[in-house]
């Protein structure tokens, strides 16, 4: 009888673990991997509107297209600006390869030239939006990073893991709130060596796809030291589409005509 009770108790415990985490003994590396798989499992194209507030200046508005794909650990992201007029035709290409630093290329329509960009330059600004490469690559695991689960807590009523990331050669740390139900990053913070927040991110609104998956509709990014607030809205999105190889070729992405 006692043996049966122990077996039932063990089964209940294992079932509880499976329901709440997917499996027992989940690690921070497991969670980060699941986050990356969830965000970049399918090829996609989205239309974004980005509103940037800097101090007392009037807000600026940018409209752009972002296309991306992930295959066997290789990720590529293509950015094409539509508005404002002075930014039309500005393009960026981000490439991620296993055990390599990300590569970033910028195409300037005024000169017709494509230039490499330093991907770990914290001051780099994508097309005047206030976004940098960390905002795009922040959910993609990279070599040399160390991850750990520092605690579990609720954010916006949802149960989350709080994942700490330490980056090689950099002071400070990154914290991400990952929703347990579907491995969505709902909030994140970058902290400096004095434990002061240098950059924060949170999802304001979600939307659901036809297959029931939930993605962010609106996001907010704050940079306290620059008195900057950025609102990112996803106006339109398609997933699982076929994308031309030229969009992700450093020699061709700048001039390839992907729109009719």
Q: How far is CA 244 from CA 7, 53, 85, in A?
A: 55, 35, 26
- Report pLDDT for 127: 76
Is 4 part of a structural domain of the chain? no
Is 99 part of a structural domain of the chain? yes
How does DSSP assign 183-222, residue by residue?
A: TEEEEEEEE-TTS-EEEEEEEEEEEE-TTS-EEEEEEEEE
Which CATH number fits the domain that encloses residue 167? 2.50.20.10
Is 71 part of a structural domain of the chain? yes
> Any idea what DSSP says for residue 144?
T
Is 19 part of a structural domain of the chain? no
pLDDT grade for 20, boundaries at 50, 70 and 90: very low
Is 217 part of a structural domain of the chain? yes
Q: Is the dihedral of CA 177, 128, 132, 197 positive or negative?
A: negative
For residue 159, what are the β-bridge partners? Answer: 154
What is the total count of domains within the chain?
1
Owning domain of residue 73? 27-248
- In the three-class reduction of DSSP (H, G, I as helix; E, B as strand; rest coil), residue 25 is classed as coil
Each residue's pLDDT tens digit, 110-164: 899 999 987 666 566 777 787 776 776 655 666 677 889 999 999 999 999 999 9
- Report pLDDT for 122: 59
**Backbone torsions φ then ψ of 88, nearest 5 degrees:** -60, 130
Is 133 part of a structural domain of the chain? yes
How far is it, in rounded angstroms, from Cα 190 to Cα 199? 5
Is 22 part of a structural domain of the chain? no
- Report pLDDT for 34: 85
- Report pLDDT for 259: 86
Q: What is the mean pLDDT of residues 84-89?
A: 90
Is 66 part of a structural domain of the chain? yes
């Amino acid at each position: 009888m006692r043996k049966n009770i122990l077996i039932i108790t063990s089964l209940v415990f294992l079932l509880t673990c499976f329901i709440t985490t997917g499996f027992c003994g989940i690690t921070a590396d497991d969670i980060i991997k699941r986050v990356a798989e969830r965000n970049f499992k399918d090829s996609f194209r989205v239309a974004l509107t980005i509103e940037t507030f800097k101090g007392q200046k009037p807000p600026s508005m940018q409209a752009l297209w972002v296309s991306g794909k992930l295959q066997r650990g290789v990720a590529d992201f293509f950015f094409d600006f539509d508005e404002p007029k002075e930014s039309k035709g500005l393009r960026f290409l981000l490439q991620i390869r296993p055990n390599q630093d990300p590569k970033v290329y910028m195409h300037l329509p005024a000169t017709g030239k494509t230039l490499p960009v330093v991907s770990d330059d914290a001051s780099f600004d994508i097309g005047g939006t206030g976004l940098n490469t960390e905002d795009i690559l922040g959910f993609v695991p990279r070599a040399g990073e160390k991850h750990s689960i520092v605690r579990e807590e609720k954010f916006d009523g949802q149960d989350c893991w709080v994942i700490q990331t330490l980056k090689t050669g950099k002071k400070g740390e990154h914290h991400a709130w990952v929703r347990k139900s579907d491995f969505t990053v709902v909030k994140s913070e970058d902290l400096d060596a004095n434990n002061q927040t240098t950059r924060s991110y949170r999802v304001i609104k979600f939307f659901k796809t036809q297959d029931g998956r939930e993605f962010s509709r609106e996001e907010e990014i704050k940079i306290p030291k620059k008195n900057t607030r950025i609102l990112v809205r996803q106006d339109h999105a398609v997933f699982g589409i076929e994308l031309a190889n030229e969009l992700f070729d450093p020699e061709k992405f700048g001039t390839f005509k992907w729109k009719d």
